[in-house]
Protein backbone atom coordinates (compact mmCIF):
# COMPACT_ATOMS: atom_id res chain seq x y z
CA UNK A 1 0.00 0.00 0.00
CA UNK A 2 1.36 3.41 -0.98
CA UNK A 3 1.79 5.89 1.85
CA UNK A 4 1.53 9.61 1.02
CA UNK A 5 3.40 12.25 2.95
CA UNK A 6 0.99 14.77 4.58
CA UNK A 7 2.44 17.57 2.44
CA UNK A 8 1.79 15.56 -0.70
CA UNK A 9 -1.79 14.94 0.39
CA UNK A 10 -2.33 18.66 0.94
CA UNK A 11 -0.86 19.43 -2.49
CA UNK A 12 -3.08 16.80 -4.12
CA UNK A 13 -6.12 18.27 -2.39
CA UNK A 14 -5.17 21.80 -3.52
CA UNK A 15 -4.71 20.72 -7.12
CA UNK A 16 -8.10 19.00 -7.09
CA UNK A 17 -9.89 22.21 -6.11
CA UNK A 18 -11.48 24.15 -8.97
CA UNK A 19 -9.70 27.37 -9.86
CA UNK A 20 -11.71 30.51 -9.31
CA UNK A 21 -12.84 32.36 -12.39
CA UNK A 22 -10.83 35.36 -11.28
CA UNK A 23 -7.63 33.31 -11.17
CA UNK A 24 -8.01 32.54 -14.87
CA UNK A 25 -7.69 36.23 -15.78
CA UNK A 26 -4.35 38.00 -16.08
CA UNK A 27 -2.92 41.38 -17.03
CA UNK A 28 -0.83 39.87 -19.85
CA UNK A 29 -3.42 37.40 -21.12
CA UNK A 30 -2.82 38.38 -24.79
CA UNK A 31 0.95 38.75 -24.50
CA UNK A 32 1.60 35.82 -26.86
CA UNK A 33 -1.66 35.39 -28.74
CA UNK A 34 -2.32 39.07 -29.58
CA UNK A 35 0.66 41.19 -28.55
CA UNK A 36 -0.73 44.36 -30.15
CA UNK A 37 -4.00 44.19 -28.21
CA UNK A 38 -3.33 47.07 -25.81
CA UNK A 39 -1.88 49.33 -28.51
CA UNK A 40 -4.76 48.71 -30.91
CA UNK A 41 -7.37 49.52 -28.26
CA UNK A 42 -5.40 52.57 -27.10
CA UNK A 43 -5.04 53.95 -30.64
CA UNK A 44 -8.73 53.35 -31.42
CA UNK A 45 -9.74 55.08 -28.19
CA UNK A 46 -7.43 58.05 -28.85
CA UNK A 47 -8.89 58.65 -32.31
CA UNK A 48 -12.48 58.33 -31.10
CA UNK A 49 -11.94 60.51 -28.03
CA UNK A 50 -10.39 63.25 -30.17
CA UNK A 51 -13.47 63.50 -32.39
CA UNK A 52 -16.15 62.61 -29.81
CA UNK A 53 -15.14 63.25 -26.17
CA UNK A 54 -18.56 62.07 -24.92
CA UNK A 55 -17.50 58.53 -25.81
CA UNK A 56 -15.86 58.14 -22.39
CA UNK A 57 -19.14 58.67 -20.53
CA UNK A 58 -21.01 56.49 -23.02
CA UNK A 59 -18.53 53.65 -22.68
CA UNK A 60 -18.52 53.82 -18.89
CA UNK A 61 -22.31 53.63 -18.68
CA UNK A 62 -22.31 50.76 -21.16
CA UNK A 63 -19.66 48.96 -19.12
CA UNK A 64 -21.60 49.47 -15.87
CA UNK A 65 -24.78 48.15 -17.45
CA UNK A 66 -22.97 45.13 -18.85
CA UNK A 67 -21.24 44.20 -15.60
CA UNK A 68 -24.21 44.82 -13.30
CA UNK A 69 -26.68 42.96 -15.53
CA UNK A 70 -24.79 40.13 -17.19
CA UNK A 71 -21.46 40.04 -15.41
CA UNK A 72 -18.95 41.81 -17.73
CA UNK A 73 -19.65 39.44 -20.62
CA UNK A 74 -20.68 41.77 -23.48
CA UNK A 75 -24.28 40.56 -23.32
CA UNK A 76 -25.40 44.18 -23.57
CA UNK A 77 -23.77 44.50 -27.01
CA UNK A 78 -26.06 42.01 -28.76
CA UNK A 79 -28.00 44.09 -31.28
CA UNK A 80 -30.98 41.75 -31.51
CA UNK A 81 -31.67 42.30 -27.85
CA UNK A 82 -30.86 45.38 -25.78
CA UNK A 83 -29.83 47.68 -28.63
CA UNK A 84 -32.89 47.11 -30.81
CA UNK A 85 -35.29 47.03 -27.89
CA UNK A 86 -33.80 49.97 -26.02
CA UNK A 87 -36.80 52.14 -26.84
CA UNK A 88 -38.77 49.95 -24.42
CA UNK A 89 -36.73 51.44 -21.61
CA UNK A 90 -35.84 55.11 -21.89
CA UNK A 91 -33.16 54.87 -19.22
CA UNK A 92 -31.36 52.06 -21.00
CA UNK A 93 -31.71 53.87 -24.32
CA UNK A 94 -30.09 56.93 -22.80
CA UNK A 95 -27.42 54.91 -21.04
CA UNK A 96 -26.18 53.08 -24.13
CA UNK A 97 -25.44 55.72 -26.80
CA UNK A 98 -23.94 54.77 -30.13
CA UNK A 99 -20.48 56.19 -29.49
CA UNK A 100 -19.71 53.38 -27.03
CA UNK A 101 -20.78 50.67 -29.48
CA UNK A 102 -18.79 52.41 -32.20
CA UNK A 103 -15.48 52.47 -30.35
CA UNK A 104 -15.79 48.80 -29.35
CA UNK A 105 -16.72 47.84 -32.93
CA UNK A 106 -13.79 49.75 -34.42
CA UNK A 107 -11.32 48.18 -32.03
CA UNK A 108 -12.75 44.70 -32.59
CA UNK A 109 -12.51 44.99 -36.38
CA UNK A 110 -8.84 45.96 -36.17
CA UNK A 111 -8.14 43.19 -33.68
CA UNK A 112 -9.80 40.62 -35.93
CA UNK A 113 -7.43 41.64 -38.72
CA UNK A 114 -4.40 41.40 -36.43
CA UNK A 115 -5.30 38.30 -34.41
CA UNK A 116 -8.60 36.77 -35.59
CA UNK A 117 -10.76 34.89 -33.11
CA UNK A 118 -8.58 35.69 -30.11
CA UNK A 119 -9.87 38.78 -28.27
CA UNK A 120 -13.31 38.82 -26.68
CA UNK A 121 -15.66 41.77 -27.00
CA UNK A 122 -15.98 41.91 -23.23
CA UNK A 123 -12.22 42.42 -22.91
CA UNK A 124 -12.35 45.15 -25.55
CA UNK A 125 -15.12 46.96 -23.67
CA UNK A 126 -13.28 46.71 -20.33
CA UNK A 127 -9.97 47.92 -21.75
CA UNK A 128 -11.52 50.70 -23.86
CA UNK A 129 -13.50 52.01 -20.89
CA UNK A 130 -10.35 52.26 -18.77
CA UNK A 131 -8.45 54.01 -21.58
CA UNK A 132 -11.30 56.45 -22.22
CA UNK A 133 -11.54 57.37 -18.54
CA UNK A 134 -7.79 58.03 -18.50
CA UNK A 135 -8.06 60.09 -21.69
CA UNK A 136 -10.67 62.25 -19.92
CA UNK A 137 -8.27 63.02 -17.08
CA UNK A 138 -9.29 60.17 -14.80
CA UNK A 139 -7.26 57.41 -13.15
CA UNK A 140 -5.68 54.51 -14.97
CA UNK A 141 -6.34 51.23 -13.18
CA UNK A 142 -5.53 47.59 -13.80
CA UNK A 143 -7.68 45.60 -16.24
CA UNK A 144 -7.29 41.85 -15.98
CA UNK A 145 -8.06 40.07 -19.24
CA UNK A 146 -9.33 36.70 -20.39
CA UNK A 147 -13.10 37.16 -20.25
CA UNK A 148 -15.33 35.28 -22.64
CA UNK A 149 -18.45 36.71 -24.26
CA UNK A 150 -21.89 35.60 -23.14
CA UNK A 151 -23.86 32.93 -24.99
CA UNK A 152 -27.22 34.52 -24.11
CA UNK A 153 -28.63 38.02 -23.75
CA UNK A 154 -32.06 38.82 -22.32
CA UNK A 155 -33.68 42.24 -22.06
CA UNK A 156 -35.65 40.88 -19.10
CA UNK A 157 -32.41 40.65 -17.11
CA UNK A 158 -32.04 44.42 -17.06
CA UNK A 159 -34.93 45.28 -14.74
CA UNK A 160 -33.83 45.62 -11.15
CA UNK A 161 -30.14 45.22 -11.90
CA UNK A 162 -29.01 48.76 -12.68
CA UNK A 163 -29.55 51.90 -10.59
CA UNK A 164 -32.30 54.33 -11.56
CA UNK A 165 -32.06 58.12 -11.20
CA UNK A 166 -34.97 58.37 -8.76
CA UNK A 167 -34.09 55.52 -6.43
CA UNK A 168 -33.74 56.08 -2.69
CA UNK A 169 -30.47 55.49 -0.87
CA UNK A 170 -31.96 52.39 0.75
CA UNK A 171 -32.74 50.98 -2.69
CA UNK A 172 -29.32 51.87 -4.09
CA UNK A 173 -27.46 50.36 -1.13
CA UNK A 174 -29.52 47.18 -1.41
CA UNK A 175 -28.80 46.92 -5.15
CA UNK A 176 -25.06 47.49 -4.86
CA UNK A 177 -24.65 45.27 -1.81
CA UNK A 178 -26.39 42.49 -3.73
CA UNK A 179 -23.70 42.94 -6.37
CA UNK A 180 -20.95 42.73 -3.75
CA UNK A 181 -20.13 46.41 -3.29
CA UNK A 182 -19.84 48.38 -0.08
CA UNK A 183 -21.52 51.75 0.47
CA UNK A 184 -18.20 53.52 0.00
CA UNK A 185 -17.52 51.67 -3.25
CA UNK A 186 -21.00 52.63 -4.46
CA UNK A 187 -20.33 56.32 -3.76
CA UNK A 188 -16.95 56.08 -5.48
CA UNK A 189 -18.52 54.51 -8.58
CA UNK A 190 -21.17 57.24 -8.67
CA UNK A 191 -18.29 59.67 -9.15
CA UNK A 192 -18.19 58.48 -12.74
CA UNK A 193 -21.08 60.84 -13.29
CA UNK A 194 -18.52 63.64 -13.33
CA UNK A 195 -18.59 63.14 -17.11
CA UNK A 196 -21.61 62.59 -19.33
CA UNK A 197 -25.25 63.59 -19.45
CA UNK A 198 -28.54 63.19 -17.62
CA UNK A 199 -31.77 63.04 -19.57
CA UNK A 200 -34.26 65.73 -18.55
CA UNK A 201 -36.98 63.11 -18.17
CA UNK A 202 -34.96 61.52 -15.37
CA UNK A 203 -35.36 64.53 -13.07
CA UNK A 204 -38.18 66.65 -14.57
CA UNK A 205 -40.36 66.08 -11.49
CA UNK A 206 -37.78 67.88 -9.36
CA UNK A 207 -38.10 70.92 -11.62
CA UNK A 208 -41.74 71.12 -12.62
CA UNK A 209 -43.84 68.74 -10.47
CA UNK A 210 -42.15 68.42 -7.11
CA UNK A 211 -45.34 68.95 -5.09
CA UNK A 212 -48.78 70.52 -5.37
CA UNK A 213 -47.70 73.82 -3.83
CA UNK A 214 -43.99 73.75 -4.72
CA UNK A 215 -43.30 72.86 -8.36
CA UNK A 216 -39.50 72.97 -7.93
CA UNK A 217 -37.56 71.05 -5.29
CA UNK A 218 -36.42 73.76 -2.85
CA UNK A 219 -33.26 71.84 -2.04
CA UNK A 220 -31.90 72.38 -5.56
CA UNK A 221 -29.57 75.37 -5.73
CA UNK A 222 -31.92 78.16 -6.89
CA UNK A 223 -29.71 79.49 -9.70
CA UNK A 224 -28.98 75.97 -10.86
CA UNK A 225 -32.70 75.12 -10.82
CA UNK A 226 -33.45 78.07 -13.10
CA UNK A 227 -30.72 77.01 -15.53
CA UNK A 228 -32.04 73.43 -15.56
CA UNK A 229 -35.59 74.59 -16.24
CA UNK A 230 -34.40 76.57 -19.25
CA UNK A 231 -32.39 73.64 -20.59
CA UNK A 232 -35.26 71.19 -20.06
CA UNK A 233 -38.17 73.46 -21.02
CA UNK A 234 -39.18 71.30 -24.00
CA UNK A 235 -38.36 67.88 -22.54
CA UNK A 236 -41.87 66.58 -23.25
CA UNK A 237 -41.60 67.43 -26.95
CA UNK A 238 -37.93 66.53 -27.21
CA UNK A 239 -37.23 63.21 -25.45
CA UNK A 240 -33.51 63.63 -26.09
CA UNK A 241 -33.23 66.80 -23.99
CA UNK A 242 -30.25 66.37 -21.67
CA UNK A 243 -27.90 68.32 -19.44
CA UNK A 244 -24.40 67.70 -18.18
CA UNK A 245 -24.37 65.70 -14.97
CA UNK A 246 -21.50 67.94 -13.88
CA UNK A 247 -22.19 71.45 -15.23
CA UNK A 248 -18.91 72.91 -13.91
CA UNK A 249 -16.29 70.66 -15.58
CA UNK A 250 -18.45 68.45 -17.83
CA UNK A 251 -15.70 67.04 -20.03
CA UNK A 252 -13.12 66.44 -17.34
CA UNK A 253 -12.97 63.41 -15.08
CA UNK A 254 -12.42 64.92 -11.64
CA UNK A 255 -14.03 65.17 -8.19
CA UNK A 256 -16.14 68.26 -8.93
CA UNK A 257 -19.26 66.06 -9.12
CA UNK A 258 -19.06 65.61 -5.34
CA UNK A 259 -18.45 69.31 -4.77
CA UNK A 260 -21.58 70.03 -6.82
CA UNK A 261 -23.64 67.67 -4.64
CA UNK A 262 -22.66 69.61 -1.53
CA UNK A 263 -23.76 72.85 -3.23
CA UNK A 264 -27.24 71.53 -3.97
CA UNK A 265 -26.35 70.85 -7.60
CA UNK A 266 -27.15 67.18 -7.82
CA UNK A 267 -29.19 66.62 -10.98
CA UNK A 268 -31.23 63.53 -10.15
CA UNK A 269 -33.00 62.63 -6.94
CA UNK A 270 -30.41 59.91 -6.35
CA UNK A 271 -27.55 62.37 -6.82
CA UNK A 272 -29.08 64.68 -4.24
CA UNK A 273 -29.75 61.80 -1.85
CA UNK A 274 -26.06 60.84 -1.82
CA UNK A 275 -25.23 64.19 -0.23
CA UNK A 276 -28.17 64.12 2.17
CA UNK A 277 -28.11 60.64 3.70
CA UNK A 278 -25.51 60.35 6.50
CA UNK A 279 -24.47 56.89 5.31
CA UNK A 280 -23.24 58.32 2.02
CA UNK A 281 -22.65 62.01 2.75
CA UNK A 282 -19.44 61.32 4.68
CA UNK A 283 -17.93 59.75 1.56
CA UNK A 284 -19.23 62.56 -0.66
CA UNK A 285 -17.49 65.05 1.62
CA UNK A 286 -14.33 62.93 1.66
CA UNK A 287 -14.09 62.74 -2.12
CA UNK A 288 -15.13 66.36 -2.64
CA UNK A 289 -12.04 67.44 -0.71
CA UNK A 290 -9.56 64.84 -1.92
CA UNK A 291 -9.31 64.08 -5.64
CA UNK A 292 -6.37 61.69 -5.20
CA UNK A 293 -8.37 59.57 -2.76
CA UNK A 294 -11.37 59.54 -5.09
CA UNK A 295 -9.20 58.43 -8.01
CA UNK A 296 -7.65 55.64 -5.93
CA UNK A 297 -10.99 54.37 -4.62
CA UNK A 298 -12.70 54.72 -7.99
CA UNK A 299 -9.92 52.74 -9.65
CA UNK A 300 -10.15 49.95 -7.06
CA UNK A 301 -13.95 49.82 -7.41
CA UNK A 302 -13.64 49.63 -11.20
CA UNK A 303 -11.13 46.79 -10.92
CA UNK A 304 -13.63 44.97 -8.73
CA UNK A 305 -16.50 45.76 -11.11
CA UNK A 306 -14.54 44.55 -14.14
CA UNK A 307 -14.18 40.97 -12.85
CA UNK A 308 -17.76 40.61 -11.62
CA UNK A 309 -19.19 37.24 -12.65
CA UNK A 310 -16.98 37.05 -15.73
CA UNK A 311 -17.24 34.01 -17.98
CA UNK A 312 -14.18 31.92 -18.79
CA UNK A 313 -13.52 28.61 -20.49
CA UNK A 314 -16.53 26.90 -22.04
CA UNK A 315 -18.97 29.19 -20.19
CA UNK A 316 -18.50 31.80 -22.90
CA UNK A 317 -17.28 32.45 -26.40
CA UNK A 318 -15.10 34.83 -28.40
CA UNK A 319 -17.49 36.51 -30.79
CA UNK A 320 -16.46 37.32 -34.32
CA UNK A 321 -18.80 40.32 -34.17
CA UNK A 322 -19.65 42.06 -30.93
CA UNK A 323 -23.29 42.65 -31.82
CA UNK A 324 -24.11 39.07 -32.80
CA UNK A 325 -23.62 35.54 -31.48
CA UNK A 326 -21.37 33.22 -33.45
CA UNK A 327 -24.26 30.77 -33.80
CA UNK A 328 -27.95 31.49 -34.37
CA UNK A 329 -29.42 29.00 -31.88
CA UNK A 330 -29.82 31.57 -29.08
Pick out the residues of the known binding site.
66, 69, 71, 73, 75, 87, 163, 194, 246, 249, 254
**Binding-site residue set for substrate:** 163
CB 272 within 8 A of CB 219: yes
Secondary structure of the chain as H, E, C letters:
CCCCCHHHHHHHHHHHCCCCCHHHCECCCCCCCCCCHHHHHHHHHHHHHHHCCCHHHHHHHHHHHHHHHCCCCCHHHCHHHHHCCHHHCHHHHHHCCHHHHHHHHHHHHHHHHHCCCCCCHHHHHHHHHHHHHHHCCCCCCCCCECCEECCCCCHHHCCCCCCCCCCCHHHHHHHHHHCCCCHHHHHHHHHHHHCCEEEHHHCHHHHHCCCCCCCCCCCCCHHHHHHHHHHCCCCCCCCCCEEECCCCCCCCCCCHHHHHHHCCCCCCHHHHHHHHCHHHHHHHHHHHCCHHHHHHHHHHHHHHHHCCCCECHHHCECCCECCECCCCCC
Positive/negative CA dihedral, 149, 152, 154, 158 = negative
Nearest 10 degrees: Cα torsion 165, 195, 186, 217: -40
CB 191 within 8 A of CB 185: no
Distance of CA 329 to the CA centre of its chain: 29
**Binding-site residue set for Ca(2+):** 66, 69, 71, 73, 75, 87, 194, 246, 249, 254
Amino acid sequence: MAVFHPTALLLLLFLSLPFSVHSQLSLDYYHKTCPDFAQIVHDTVARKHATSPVTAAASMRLFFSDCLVGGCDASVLISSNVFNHAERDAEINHALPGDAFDVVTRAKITLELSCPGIVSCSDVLAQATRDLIAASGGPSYKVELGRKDSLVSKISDVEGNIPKPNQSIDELIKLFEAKGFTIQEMVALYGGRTIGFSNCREFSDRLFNFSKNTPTDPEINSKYAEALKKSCADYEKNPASSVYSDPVTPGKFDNVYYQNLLRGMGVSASDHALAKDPRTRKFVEMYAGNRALFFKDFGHAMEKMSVREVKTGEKGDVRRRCDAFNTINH
